[in-house]
């Protein structure tokens, strides 16, 4: 199975849910890395005080809590 594929950031949450449901550990790890890389690149955009970036930050933190991706909470 090819697990090293790119997913658009807008769709990554849906892919995470599917991979988690089917217990595809390697796919989850790949998606986790993509999400981390994307948010690291956008780090300063996310943490500015605009309403949109605060909504994105809230979604990220809720997602991290739901899927227990502790590494996301460190960013």
Contact assessment for residue 38 and residue 60, using Cβ atoms and an 8 Å cutoff: no
Q: What is the Cα–Cα distance from 72 to 59, expressed in whole angstroms?
A: 12
Name the pTM for this structure: 0.56
Domains of the chain, residue spans: 9-71
Q: Write out the chain's pLDDT in tens, 75 residues.
A: 677 788 887 787 788 778 877 878 788 788 878 877 877 777 555 556 677 767 776 777 677 667 665 555 555
Question: pLDDT tens-digit profile of 5-19?
Answer: 888 877 877 887 788
**Would you state the structure tokens that stand for residue 7, as one six-digit string?**
């997913």
Residue 16 class from Cβ within 10 Å (0-12 exposed, 13-18 middle, 19+ buried)? Answer: buried
What is residue 37's predicted lDDT score, i.e. its pLDDT? 81
């Amino acid at each position: 199975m090819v697990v090293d594929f790119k997913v658009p950031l807008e769709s990554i949450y849906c892919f995470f849910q599917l991979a988690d449901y089917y217990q595809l550990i390697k796919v989850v790890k790949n998606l986790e890395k993509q999400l981390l890389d994307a948010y690291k690149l956008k780090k300063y955009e996310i943490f500015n005080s605009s309403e949109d970036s605060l909504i994105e930050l809230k979604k990220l933190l809720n997602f991290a809590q739901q899927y227990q991706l502790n590494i996301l909470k460190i960013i």
